[in-house]
Amino acid sequence: MAHSSLIGRAVAARSQAFLLVLLAIAVLVPVMNLAVPAGSFFHIPSYGVSLFGKYVCYALLALSIDLIWGYCGILSLGHGAFFALGGYAMGMHLMREIGPRGVYGDPILPDFMVFLNWKELPWFWHGFDFFPFALLMIVAVPGVLAFVFGWFAFRSRVTGVYLSIITQALTFALMLAFFRNEMGFGGNNGLTDFKDILGFDLQHDTTRCGLFVASILALGLGYSICRFVVRSKAGKVLVAIRDAESRTRFLGYRVEGYKLFVFVLSAMLAGVAGALYTPQVGIINPSEFSPANSIEVVVWVAVGGRGTLIGAVLGAIIVNGAKTLFTGWFPEIWLFALGALFVGVTLFMPKGVMGLLRGDGGGGAKIKLLLEKLGAARTGRMLR
């Protein structure tokens, strides 16, 4: 008992430290961008702020995957879909904010609709000029899609790899659909050329810093929600479902309900991540739906350590940081590195970076295990 409360205190201390670090970053980065003069060593250029902001959005997306994969065993290979839907919802608001400043100067229709010779706004674009409505849609659209999809899938007990494959099909289908001009989301080019958000110029440094701080806050809030969920009693049931779904069901828990709840929550978090991503990157297009993107997110989580929440955040930032550096230095190598990372992490670091930090189940132990297995196989063969 004393032991478990010790662990509990350590975990609490760690998450507090994590939130404090986030807070420090939220203060430091804007200061280093806005207050520190441009020539200084400590100055962060504006593109750097947007870049870090992008990482933070990715971290939130990874967090949402860790919540379902790490704690409930649902491996979604289509979470990019929820991310992109959130991004599109925000993008639609930003398109409406452009107003008559577009290339064609139409007061209502976005440029691509004028270009396609559309006469009026499609019904699903109405309301997006109103920011609170857009905010609602950012969580509602991914949430509703996740609810409908999850309700069908969990009720009929589609689990494991089958679920992974159909989530992949979901995002693939959405990608194909969003590529079509007739869908009314800008087709191939997606939504871009945003001017400002809530009246603040998107190109301006303070706006960028504001978005960065908003992203950090969203990440901190998302982390707190996830932590609250996994530490609650429901969180224990989720872990039980992950480890032995049938047994949990036999114990009388409504497995479908728990799964559905956590899946929808996760999709909403992904939607928020996408919504913050769009204004900082300046574009949202259908390639965000591509299955490869969604699979990559899972690797971030695996690298960081699944089922640790903080690990997902670390993984997203480490992998994306490495990606930025690698693609800048030797673009040829990046896919090799990423591929090797996938293989290496699954084979040698099943608990990811967090496992290494904690010192349990790290690389050394895994390699020892492998060697043992090999040895056993060899002796088995000799016996025969």
Partner 1 sequence: MASALRLMLFAGLWLGLTFGGAHSGFAQTNPQLTPLLEKLDTRNFKQKADAVAAIAAIDDPMVVPLLKTLGAGDLYRRKSDGTYFRAIRKGSAFALHDLVSGDEVETLSKSAVERIIVNNSMRGQIDALLGSLTLRSADPKQRLSAAQSLLKERDPSGLNALEAAIEAEEQDHIRDVMIAARSAIVLYDTSAAQADRLEAVAALKARGGRSMMSLLSGAAGDQDPEVADAATAAAAAIDKELQFWALGQNVLYGLSLGSVLLLAAIGLAITFGVMGVINMAHGELVMLGAYTTFVVQDAIRSSAPHLFDYSLLIAAPLAFAIVGLVGIAIERGVVRFLYGRPLETLLATWGISLLLQQTVRSIFGPTNKEVGNPSWMTGGFELGYLTITYNRMWILVFALAVFAGLLLLLKKTAIGLQMRAVTQNRAMASDMGVRSGMVDAMTFGLGAGVAGLAGVALSQIDNVSPNLGQGYIVDSFMVVVFGGAGNLWGALAGAFTLGIANKFLEPFSGAVLAKVLVLVFIILFIQKRPRGLFPLKGRAVES
User: Looking at 105, 321, 339, 364, which residue binds partner 1 (CB under 8 A)?
Assistant: 339
Say which residues have a Cβ less than 8 Å from residue 93's Cβ, sequence separation at least 6. Answer: 128, 129, 131, 134
Cβ 40 to partner 1 shortest distance, Å: 39
Residue 238 interacts with partner 1 (CB under 8 A)?
A: no
Geometric angle at alpha carbon 134, from 115 and 53, rounded to 5°: 90
Give yes or no for a contact between 57 and 212, defined as CB atoms under 8 angstroms apart: no
Residue 364 interacts with partner 1 (CB under 8 A)?
A: no
Residue 302 interacts with partner 1 (CB under 8 A)?
A: yes
Site residues (CB under 8 A) for partner 1, limited to 58-117: 69, 75, 77
CA gap 33, 37 in Å, rounded = 8
User: Looking at 85, 209, 341, 349, which residue binds partner 1 (CB under 8 A)?
Assistant: 341
User: Looking at 25, 34, 98, 173, which residue binds partner 1 (CB under 8 A)?
Assistant: 173
3-state class (DSSP) for residue 166: helix
Task: Kindly write out the interface string for residues 180-219 of this chain, putting x where it contacts partner 1 by CB under 8 A and - elsewhere.
Answer: x---------------------------------------
Geometric angle at alpha carbon 297, from 22 and 46, rounded to 5°: 50
One-letter amino acid for residue 349 of the chain: M
Cβ 256 to partner 1 shortest distance, Å: 12
Residue 326 interacts with partner 1 (CB under 8 A)?
A: no
Compare residues 6 and 370 and give the one whose CB is closer to partner 1.
370
Sign of the dihedral defined by the CA atoms of residues 283, 285, 289, 290, in that order: negative
Q: Among 67, 42, 138, 20, which Cα is nearest to 312's?
A: 67
Residue 368 interacts with partner 1 (CB under 8 A)?
A: no
Compare residues 133 and 334 and give the one whose CB is closer to partner 1.
334
CA gap 37, 192 in Å, rounded = 31
Compare residues 101 and 155 and give the one whose CB is closer to partner 1.
155
The interaxial angle of helices 131-155 and 79-98, nearest 10 deg, is 160
User: Looking at 23, 176, 251, 325, which residue binds partner 1 (CB under 8 A)?
Assistant: 176
Compare residues 53 and 70 and give the one whose CB is closer to partner 1.
70
Say which residues have a Cβ less than 8 Å from residue 154's Cβ, sequence separation at least 6. Answer: 255, 256, 259, 260, 263
CA gap 150, 152 in Å, rounded = 5
Residue 179 interacts with partner 1 (CB under 8 A)?
A: yes
Task: Kindly write out the interface string for residues 39-58 of this chain, putting x where it contacts partner 1 by CB under 8 A and - elsewhere.
Answer: --------------------
Which listed range, 169-177, 218-226, 247-255, 273-281, lies at the site for partner 1 (CB under 8 A)? 169-177
Residue 239 interacts with partner 1 (CB under 8 A)?
A: no
* Strands 196-197 vs 283-284: parallel, antiparallel or unpaired: unpaired
Task: Kindly write out the interface string for residues 149-168 of this chain, putting x where it contacts partner 1 by CB under 8 A and - elsewhere.
Answer: x--xx-xxxx-xxx-xxx-x
Which listed range, 51-59, 257-265, 312-320, 376-384, lies at the site for partner 1 (CB under 8 A)? 376-384
> The tokens of 238 are what?
């989720």
Helix ranges (DSSP H) in the chain: 2-34, 46-65, 71-72, 79-98, 111-115, 131-155, 160-179, 205-231, 233-243, 245-250, 255-281, 291-304, 310-329, 331-348, 352-358, 363-383
Which listed range, 22-30, 82-90, 100-108, 295-303, lies at the site for partner 1 (CB under 8 A)? 295-303
Residue 293 interacts with partner 1 (CB under 8 A)?
A: no
Residues composing the chain? 384
Compare residues 235 and 352 and give the one whose CB is closer to partner 1.
352
Give yes or no for a contact between 63 and 219, defined as CB atoms under 8 angstroms apart: yes
Residue 136 interacts with partner 1 (CB under 8 A)?
A: no
Binding site for partner 1 (CB under 8 A): 69, 75, 77, 149, 152-153, 155-158, 160-162, 164-166, 168-170, 172-173, 176-177, 179-180, 291-292, 295, 298-299, 302, 332, 335-336, 338-347, 350, 370, 373, 377, 381, 384
